Each structure stands twice: as structure tokens, then as C-alpha cells.
Amino acid sequence: MIRSSKLQSRFSDFKIYLKPVCLRMFFLGFSAGLPLLLVLGTLGFWLREAGIDLKTIGFLSWVGLVYGCKWLWAPLVDNVKLPWLSEHLGQRRAWLALSQVMLIISLSGMAFSNPQTHMPQIVAFALLTAFCSATQDISLDAYRIESASADLQGALAATYQTGYRLAMIWAGAGAFALAAFFQSTPSGIYDQTGWTWAYLIMAASISVGLATTLLSPAPNASDEESKLRQLEEMRHHVHAFILRHPSLPRSIAKVVGWFGFVCVRPIADFFYRYRWHALAILLLIATYRISDVVMGVMSNPFYRDMGFTKEEVAAVSKIFGVVMTLVGTFIGGIVVLRIGILKTLLVGALLSAGTNLLFSALAAVGHSLPFLVFTVSADNLSGGLASAAFIAYLSGLTNVQYSATQYAVFSSIMLILPKFLAGFSGVLVESVGYSNFFILTAALGIPVLVLIPIIGYLSRQQGSDKN
């Protein structure tokens, strides 16, 4: 009887993933996961096959810094109404739909760009894709946070990550398979046709997210009403600012008043709620993914240089590996419910940094398909667990009044330092080799293991001070 009740309890834990709000996050997560590899990992493999040097590929990864700067326009997504779209779809879905349509256009532009002859065109469309993708992320993060209570955020993060990772299979393995299928030249000889068809099909795949956006309901009604009240409050604030500063030209006073409301208030709210504890939180956010991000830029060129074919990379890294990420994500969602967010963050950080050492061993072993399977499995399982916990952690830090802006700031801070360092990854690999490079990326995760217990202690102290 006891064993039966335990099994029923564990089964009921997983039933949470069948809620409609979780299922919606699955399809929206799919749309969010498609563009990232198409401007980073898959693009890196494409460029390497086209004969582009490692330094250029490494520096091109700075396109990912766009994701780290989305806090700059997040206030617009939070506060600016789009003509017709906002009226008919609501604030969140309007911006989602616009960004998804633009993604279809920008990915199509990449499809018709040949890196051997039109590299600046590739860079321009990659930047546009990253910008539209980041805008989609801003809207989607706010929609997710406003769609459910805090105790459901772990489950939403898990289903979101599931869709996201399946999209990465499609944008990675799918793109490789499509490029190989449509290739008109013998294997080993570069052919643009295959990549053109691959990216066009990726562009069409964004329609999954667009359809979900159009068919989904608005987020929590009370949050939507709160957002309307906030927009009205903003108008009163800007008007009052104009009246208090008659010496300023009206247009300038209007801009300054608006900036103070939509940009300064969300940041001030965060520091007001967490006080000096906020600095430790921001430091953790800035460094939690550093080990994975810096390593990830060179993973696809590494596979290529180790002699793995597109088909092998597609099967192992882009399919099997992502499946292991999904397993890790679902485990992460349940572990968060069982032991809490901070403890899960610590476990995820330890595993994520440690598994980078397996890549160092693979570099020493050379072309070994079984060892590649083992390495990718361990790395993706730990990464999935860490991601689910981290998304739940960031979601819990936001105030629903400023959800889009605050989450955008957090996720931007999460990416700026890792993406900046990742830009030098190609230079570092050429200097020290792949094996030592992966050891160094593992060492980058050590400060995180120190920070998490410190934040746990500060959280307990802050809780006791309030009591």
C-alpha cells in the first residue's frame, strides 16, 4: 500500500504537465528554440563547411550578444501598444505575433545568402534574426510569468524547455539532415543549395509558434487588468512630469518622463525588494551559464575538426543529446518541487561544469562515436536540469507589474558576460587546443558553486529580518 501510494504521488507530479497552460508553453517554446542555433551552432557548422576560418566564426558568435541587450527595448514591449494587433490580441500576444512574422522574413533572408560571396549579408540577417528572436523571448517570458502562479513556474519552465529543446533538434539535426538531403554535390564539397532549403524550411517552422499565439488566450485576466492600470498610471506620470518641468520642451519632457517610468521603476522595484542582497543575485545570474555558453560556441566546429560527419553530429548531438536534455528538464522540474530551487541550481551548476571535462577527454581520444554519445548524454542531461531550475529561479525574482522588463534584464545579464567571452573562444582554441580549452571552461563554473550557498544564506537572513 505504501509503495502504491508513493507511485501514485509521483504519477500525480507528472500530471501537472498535461494542464492546458503547460501544453501552450510547449508549442511556444518550440518557436522560441528555433532561431538560436540558426544564428549560432548550426550557422557555425555551415560557415565552417563553407571554408570560413575559426576566428571569424568565433567573433560572429557576438551576434548572440543581441540576446544580452534585450533589456534595452523590453520596456517598449511592456508598455507600447501595437496598432490593431494590441487591440485584438492583447499586449503580450501582439508582440509575439509581430516578432514571429519578422523571424520568418529574416530566416528566409539568411537562406538566400551565400557565406562564401555574401558574408556581410549573412551577418545582417543573422543580427535581424537574433533581434526578432530576443523580442519574441521578451514577450513569451512575460506571457509565461503572467499565465500561472509561482508554484507552477517550474512546470511551465519544463514544458517550455521541452518545446525549446525539440526545436533545437529540428534547428540542429533537422537542418543538417535537410542540408544533406538537398545537397547536389558529392559529400565533402560545399553546396549552397542544401543550406538554402534547410533555412527556408526552418523559417516555415516558425508558423507553429505563430499559430499557437493566435489561438491562445490572453494571460491571467487580473494581470491584464493590472497592465492596463499600469499603462494609465504611466500616462498620468508622464503628464505630471511635463507639468513639473515647464522649462523643458514638451517632446523632451515626455521622453524623459516616459523613460523614468518604464525603465527606472522596474529596476528600482527589484532593488527595493531585495536591497543589497540584489547584488549577489545579479552576480549569480551573470555567471550561472558561463561555463556552458563559452564552451558551446566551439562545440560544432570541434565535432567537424574531430572528423564527425553531419549525419553523426545530427544523430548524436542534435537528436540523442537533445532528448537527454528533455529528460534532464523534466527531472529538473520535479526536483525543484521536491528539494527547492537553490539546491537544484547547485546540483545543475556542478554537473554542467563537470561534464565539460568529458569534452576535453574526447579531444584526447579523437573520433570515437561511443564516447561522443556518452559525453553528449551527460552534458545535455545536466544542462536540462540546470536550465529548468534557472528559469524557475529567474521567474520567481520578477514582479508581475514589470514582468517583461525585469525578466529581460535578468536574462540579458545572464548572457552578456558569457557571450562576450565566447567571442574569443576561437582565438583560445587556436592558442591552447581543444582539450585545454574545455578544461578552462569547466573552471569558469567554480565561482557559481560558491555563490549559490552564499545566496541561500542571505535569503534565510532576509526572511528572518522580515519576521
CA nearest to 281, candidates 440, 409, 445: 409
**Residue written as grid cell 573520433:** 367
pLDDT of residue 467: 45
Distance CA 371, CA 67 (A): 33
pLDDT of residue 103: 96
pLDDT of residue 124: 92
- Angle at the Cα of 465 (from 463 to 467), degrees rounded to 5? 75
pLDDT of residue 210: 95
Query: What Rg value do the Cα atoms of the chain yield, rounded?
Result: 23
Query: pLDDT averaged over consecutive 10-residue blocks of the chain (467 residues)?
Result: 49 66 88 90 84 82 82 80 84 91 95 88 93 92 77 74 84 87 76 90 95 82 59 73 80 76 79 86 89 84 84 76 81 80 88 90 89 89 87 81 78 81 84 90 90 85 57
- Angle at the Cα of 155 (from 154 to 157), degrees rounded to 5? 65
CA nearest to 202, candidates 171, 161, 172, 169: 171
Distance CA 79, CA 111 (A): 33
pLDDT of residue 224: 57
pLDDT of residue 12: 55
Contact status, residue 58 vs residue 425, Cβ threshold 8 Å: yes
Neighbours of 207 (CB within 10 A): 14
pLDDT of residue 202: 95
What proportions of the chain, in percent to the nearest 5, are helix, strand and coil? Answer: 85, 0, 15
Which residues make Cβ contacts (< 8 Å) with residue 172, sequence separation at least 6?
A: 37, 41, 42, 314, 317, 318, 322
Distance CA 99, CA 138 (A): 10
Chain-centre distance of CA 382, in angstroms?
16
